[in-house]
Structure 1
Amino acid sequence: MYKLLLIVVMMSIWLSLHLLQVEEQLAMKTLFQGKHAVNRATHAAAQQVDTAALGEGVFRIEPIKAEAAAALYLQQNLLLNAHGAPLAGSFLKEAVQVVVFKLVNADEIFPFTYRNKAYQYEVTLQRPGVILIIKMAYPRVFEVLEPIEWHIKGAAELIAG
């Protein structure tokens, strides 16, 4: 009888460890999907050239178009609505928040170093660019892990020529 009990206990321990491993792998996949979405959003935003300034020979990013492009790419890549809440087919359960959207334009002196101590982020831009930080929570599947939240950071520069 005690061997049967030992087998049941060992199977439950083995199952718990297996679920922990699966949960960790899903968390890493979610983090990578978030990072790819941030990278795509910053690159899309950084390519929104101000054509009027370009006509004068100045490389500038159009702020309104840049913010709209970043939001659109985040929505499309993470399956979010306009308010950052997940849509029906999304793997996320909680809303994604844009905590920093910083546009560095031609009025700065380059190379420009952006520092944000609150999110422990530093990046140096050689030309006009965009800095984006989002807050994203991991949607636990088996609830083996503690809740995880990330501040995912990204930056991109305007590609000239």
Structure 2
Amino acid sequence: MYKLLLILLMSMLWLGAHAAQADQERAVRMLFEAKHAVNRAAHAAAQQLDEEELAEGRFDVDEERAEAAAREYLQENLRLDEQGRPVQGSRLKAAVIIEAWKVIGQEQSFPYIYRDSRFGYEVTLDRPGVVLIARIEHPRLFSVMEPIVWHVKGAAQLVLPG
């Protein structure tokens, strides 16, 4: 009888460990997906040329179009609605919040060093570009565990022709 109880206890322990490992793998996969989405959004935003500046022969980022492009890429890649909330089919359960957004334009001197002590982030840009930091919350498999919260960081600079 005690062997049967031992087998049941060990089976429960093994299943719990297996479920915890599966939860960890889901979280890592979501982190990679989120990082790729933020990088794509930052890159798309950095490529939005200011047409008035371009007419004058200067390359600069159009702030309004850059923000729209970044939001669109985040929506498409993470399956979000216009307010950043997950839609059906998304792996996320909470809204994605843009914690930091900065367009670095020609008014800055380059190389430009962006620093954000809140997130321990620093990046150097050699040309106009954007910095994007998004707060992404990943739900855990077990509801008794707190969700994982990441501040996913991305930066990109304008790719010049030639």
Does TM-score exceed 0.5, indicating one fold? yes
Which moved further from structure 2: 127-136 or 145-154? 145-154
Question: What's 1:87 paired with?
Answer: 87
Please give the alpha-carbon distance, in whole angstroms, between the structure 2 residues aligned to 1:74 and 1:147. 20
Q: Hey, what does 1:128 align to over in structure 2?
A: 128
2:64 corresponds to:
64
**Are 1:23 and 1:141, in contact at CA under 8 Å, matched by a contact in 2?**
yes
1:54 maps to 2:42: no
Return 118-127 or 54-63, whichever deviates more: 54-63
SS at match of 1:156: strand
Q: What is the CA deviation profile of residues 79-121 of structure 1, one whole-angstrom value per residue up to 9, with x for unaligned ones?
A: 0001010001111000110011100001100000000000110
Over the residues paired in the alignment, what is the CA RMSD in angstroms? Answer: 1.0
In the aligned structure 2, how far is the partner of 1:43 from the partner of 1:144?
Answer: 37
Match of 2:19, SS?
A: helix
1:147: how far off?
2.2
CA distance in structure 2 between the aligned counterparts of 1:146 and 1:120, rounded to whole angstroms? 23
Residue identity opposite 2:98 in structure 1: V
Q: TM-score, normalised by structure 2?
A: 0.97
Q: CA deviation at 1:142?
A: 3.4
**Counterparts of 1:30 and 1:134, CA distance in 2:** 14
Q: Which runs of 5+ in 2 are unaligned?
A: none
Q: Percent identity?
A: 51
Q: Deviations over 1:126-160 (max 9, x none)?
A: 00000000000112223475421000000000001
Post-superposition offset of 1:51: 1.4
Matched, 1:156 2:153: no
Q: Distance in 1 between matches of 2:31 and 2:89?
A: 18
* TM-score, scaled relative to structure 1: 0.97
Q: Which structure 1 residue ranges, 5 or more long, are not aligned? A: none
Q: What is the distance in 2 between the residues matched to 1:40 and 1:79?
A: 14
Structure 1 ranges of 4+ moved more than 2 A: 141-147
Contact 1:84-1:95 at 8 Å conserved across structures = yes
In the other structure, the counterpart of 1:41 is 41
Query: Matched residue pairs, number?
Result: 161
For 1:89 and 1:131, the matched residues in 2 are separated by: 28
